[in-house]
Amino acid sequence: MSSLFAQEVPLSWYLLLSAALFSLGVVGFLIKRNLITVFMSIELMLNGVNLSFVTFAQQWHAVKGQIFVFFVMMVAAAEAAVGLAIIIAVFRARATLAVDRIDLMKL
Amino acid sequence: MNAHLYLWLIPLLPFAGFLLNGILGRRLPKWLVTTVALLAPLAAFGVVLNAALGVFGIIPVTIISLPFTETCPLPWINAGLLHVNFSFVLDQLSLVMLLVVTGVGFLIHVYSVGYMGDDKGYARYFSYLNLFLFFMTVLVLAGNALVMFIGWEGVGLASYLLIGFWFQKKSAADAGKKAFIVNRIGDFGFLIGMFLLVANFGTLTFTEIATKLGQDPGWNGGVVTVIALCLMLGATGKSAQLPLYIWLPDAMEGPTPVSALIHAATMVTAGVYMVARTHVLFDHSPFALSVVAIIGAATAIFAATIALVQNDIKRVLAYSTISQLGYMFLGCGVAAYSAAIFHLMTHAFFKALLFMAAGSVIHAIGGEQDLRKMGGLRKKLPVTFWTMTAAVLAIAGFFPFAGFFSKDAILYVAFLQGTNGKILWFVGLLTALLTSFYMFRLWYLTFMGESRSPEVHPHESPWSMRGPLVILALLSVCGGWIGMERFGNFLAPSVGVLPTEAGNMRLEIILSIVAVLVALEGWLIADKLYRRKPARPAQYAAALPTGYKLLANKYYVDELYGAVVVKPLLGFSKFVLEWVVDFVILGGAAWLLGGIATFTGAILQRWQSGNLRSYAAWLAAGAAAVLLFLLVPWATVLAGLTAIHLGMAGH
């Protein structure tokens, strides 16, 4: 073990990174106008959560956290497939991906 | 010991007839309908006759002491201090009335078989007629005001149904409504009177009221006057007196036998009967008595003047009925109740006969009622002619016909009541002159001279119609021979003795001669105008256009009521219906409900913006709220806050 890595990265750093990723995702989800960016922000939130799962799995030497990460990635992949298909359908129908103009459900 | 009289059978038999013919009448053969319809009143008359024979001691086995009460064993109304039983009372007054109602009623049923024979509503007609008899006998037999009120309202219903019997005709349907609505005003007075009776006497039973009034001499004027006037208001409605008489002339839209039975002989006399029944109240209130007398006298002369110029044979008779009812109230008003009831009885005979003879005439000439198109029917309708002549002589008051005795008795008693009584007597005498004139006018126009509609070929009515005419003609001739004195003595236990202390035999005879002379004068005038110089009436009418128009249009009372009462009321009802109820209440409720929904929707709509980012924001905010709720240790925070608060309070 080299001295550079002698000191372990403290738990809080991982968690802070995870929270930062999640928050960036939330903010992007809320403020971005392009539907694809919004979609990517969701992925960002998922990955932020994944990071805290693996962090805790490492910390407590519990494999459950890692299994959960696989589940999340699988759901995210499925979601990405369906979501992108919807986005393409929306784009074909409306010729735009601006979120505030996709408002057909408004009265 | 009193024998059983089965008084309850008297109303119930016609009621059974009503149910049978009313429910099954359409499907039953006609002869069966007729049998049921005639048997019901005949059987009721039989029961009454049985009682009467007992009372008069003709069947000594069942000697009955009056008043005889039959009470339904089950209590009817028990509310606090008020106890009302369903009771029937047979006394001298109700016995006379029952004999008239069921006897004349039966004759008119028989007559109707001929008169209504071709009508499509044959069974319906007889079921209504039986229903009327049911209610009328309940009214007459009533032992207390509430039972009387049932009969009172019921005869009003039957009258409404029968006036509007030919309801396809708008005028008939309207006349029915008019009669019903005008009677409501009178019934309102009757009801208020009953409430006051309950409030002041705690009972509605006639005998108990009489007892309580007799025990305490303090009952004079005041509340007794108010009660009596309220009851009189009811009587003016039912008996077509001023100011509520307007429905009776219109009621002539009904079939003629109905006019004879309900609107001449029986129902309209219910007001007189009611005043006689509650006479103790009137006796304790001189003011109410004079009101009754003045209303009676005023109505008598008022209606008689209108009758002078009417051209519809039934309308002449209708106004004549109003006028004669005025006589009866005049009699009541001078406390001559037995004379009023005497006149009620004789009037029932001759007025029913007049109507039925008029019906026979109308029937004979194909439904024509206009006197100007009749004439010369003497030869063609001999039975009708002779019976009608008897009735005309009776109503005009010629000796020795029935009307002479009863009218004379009323006028005689009125004459004895001081100066005011002399005025009433004079008004009555004047009315007698007018009565004689318009009756002979009708008689001349109908039967004398030459026919004014030569194309019509009249035929005498069937025997079912002629039979009752003949019987009633006999009664119109002989009905008065019983004499006022005997009749008054018989009725005295019910309605008190005639107030004739101030009179004597000579005065009575002189007044009688005066009355007959006056009637003769009326005949002579009619004879001159309608036989010897038939052009005169038109000349007189042309010479006095205002007066003639006033009479021909019945003093414009219908128009006056229309403008003063009906129109404002209708306008107000329309305002209430169309503005208050329809627009404000119904429209307002709909508007309010719709408004609430729209308003809530408008608020909630903002939530459902359709904007993806706002959904996202709500989602995030929701998640944040859940987190806040879960992560913040609220219990600790609250405890801390309380501690701070308490700490501050401690300082």
Residue B109 has a pLDDT of: 93
Count structural domains, chain A: 1
Task: Say if residues B417 and B334 touch (Cβ distance below 8 Å).
Answer: yes
Query: Nearest chain B Cα to A33, which residue?
Result: B613
> Residue A1 falls within a domain, yes or no?
no
For chain B, give the percent of residues with pLDDT over 70. Answer: 97
Cross-chain residue pair A99–B613, CB shorter than 8 Å: yes
Each residue of B443-486: pLDDT tens digit?
Answer: 998 888 787 777 777 888 888 888 999 999 999 998 888 888 88
Could A29 and B608 be called an inter-chain contact, meaning their C-beta atoms sit closer than 8 Å? no
Q: Which residues of chain A lie closer than 8 angstroms to B616, CB-CB?
A: 29-30, 38
Distance from the Cα of A26 to chain B's closest Cα (Å) equals 8
The arithmetic mean of pLDDT across residues B335-349, rounded, is 92
What average pLDDT does the structure give for chain B? 87
Asked whether the beta carbons of B413 and B499 are under 8 A apart, the reply is yes
Q: Do A106 and B617 touch (CB under 8 A)?
A: no
Cα B541 from Cα B582, distance rounded (Å): 51
pTM score, two decimals?
A: 0.77
Confirm whether A107 is domain-assigned: no
Provide, as residue numbers in chain A, all residues whose Cβ is less than 8 Å from the Cβ of B610: 103-107
> Which one of A31, A38, A105 has the shortest CB-CB distance to B610?
A105
* Contact status of A99 with chain B (Cβ, < 8 Å): yes
Cβ contact (<8 Å) for B620 and A29?
Answer: yes
pLDDT average, residue stretch B623-650: 82
Specify if A5 maps to a domain.
no
CATH of the domain at A87: 1.10.287.3510
**A1 in contact with B, Cβ within 8 Å:** no
Out of A26, A99, A107, whose CB is closest to B612? A99
Most A-contacting residue of B611, B618, B619 (CB-CB within 10 A), to test interface: B611
Nearest C-alpha of chain B: how many angstroms from A107? Answer: 7
d(CA A7, CA A9): 7
Stretch B234-246: mean pLDDT: 90
Q: Residues of A with CB below 8 A from B620's CB?
A: 26, 29-30
Query: Which of A29, A30, A103 is opposite residue B610, by nearest beta carbon?
Result: A103
User: pLDDT at residue A74 above 90?
Assistant: yes
Instruction: Give a yes or no: residue A3 inside a domain.
Output: no
Separation CA B650–CA B637 (nearest Å)? 20
Domain of residue A43, residue span:
10-101
Closest residue to B610, CB basis, from A30, A38, A106: A106
Q: Do B612 and A29 touch (CB under 8 A)?
A: no
Instruction: Name the minimum distance, in Å, from the CA of A57 to any CA of chain B.
Output: 22
CA of A7, closest CA in chain B: separation in Å? 32
For tokens 């004689």, the residue is B436
Type of residue found at B638 = L
Express each pLDDT in B202-216 by its tens digit. 888 888 888 888 887
Does B609 sit within 8 Å of A99, measured CB to CB?
no
Would residue A92 count as lying in a domain?
A: yes
Q: A49 at the B interface (CB within 8 A)? A: no
Q: Is residue A15 part of a domain?
A: yes
In tens, the pLDDT along B359-383 reads 988 888 887 888 888 878 888 888 8
Buried b (16+ CB within 10 A) or exposed e, B200-230: bbebbbbbebeeebeeeeebeeeebbbbbbb
- Confirm if B433 and B411 have CB atoms less than 8 A apart: no
Interface residues from chain B to A (CB-CB < 8 Å): 605, 608-613, 616-617, 620
From CA B234, how far away is CA B339, in angstroms rounded? 21
Sign of CA dihedral B190, B194, B195, B200: positive
Q: What number is the average pLDDT over the span B224-242?
A: 91
What residue type is assigned to position B266 of the chain?
T
DSSP H or E stretch at residue B247: helix B247-250
Residue A1 has a pLDDT of: 44
A107 at interface of B, judged by CB pairs closer than 8 A:
yes
- Angstrom distances, CA of residue B154 to CA of B94, B233, B263, B520: 18, 18, 14, 41
| Cα separations in angstroms, B387 against B113, B393, B462 | 19, 10, 15
Using an 8 Å CB-CB cutoff, list chain B residues near A105: 608, 610
Residue A4 lies in a domain: no
Contact B270, B190 (CB under 8 A): no
Q: Does A26 contact B at CB distance below 8 Å? A: yes
Whether residue A106 lies inside any domain: the answer is no
Residue B534: helix, strand or coil by DSSP? coil
Whole-number pLDDT of residue B368: 83
